[in-house]
Amino acid sequence: MMYRKLGFAELAAAVLQVLRENTAYDVYDAVPEDAESPFLFAEVVGKRDSSSKTTWKETFVLHIHCIAKPSHARTEVYQMIQKAEEAMTAPLELPQGVECLTQTETGVQAMQLDETGEWHAVLGYEIMTSYGLKCK
């Protein structure tokens, strides 16, 4: 028997869809060179096995980047963080055969003022999925 596993591109597409549907920002998986801030972009940066005795599970590590308009104030980037956090409370739509068990925010991983004058925050998430029961 072969199991259906979730791919990086499929998870990224589900996250991009949630952010596009639930925020007013432009959302990218690859940022065009001419993209004007503010915008969000998401990337899947890792995956690890999280299987239990009875269930096949994987945990994906996700980063959502919030890029605010150039400013000395952090107000806009703070608002972007809140909007992205709220959007990520919506359930992810994953392919049939894969279930999303948890969407856990791991917090703001970084915040910096880029050389462009834009505030850049990185939100971390762990998405745990299940793709089947273990059989003996």
Q: Whole-angstrom Cα distance, residue 128 to residue 104?
A: 8
Beta strands in the chain (DSSP E): 26-28, 39-49, 55-70, 99-113, 118-133
pLDDT of residue 134: 87
The predicted model gives 61-77 an average pLDDT of 97
Helices 8-22 and 75-87: angle between axes, nearest 10 degrees: 110
**Residue 2: which pLDDT band, with cuts at 50, 70 and 90?**
confident
pLDDT, tens digit, 9 for 90 and up, residues 81-129: 999 999 999 999 999 999 999 999 999 999 999 999 999 999 999 999 9
Looking at residue 20, its pLDDT comes to: 98
Kindly indicate the confidence band of residue 57, based on its pLDDT and cuts at 50, 70 and 90.
very high
In tens, the pLDDT along 17-53 reads 999 999 999 999 999 999 999 999 999 999 999 999 9
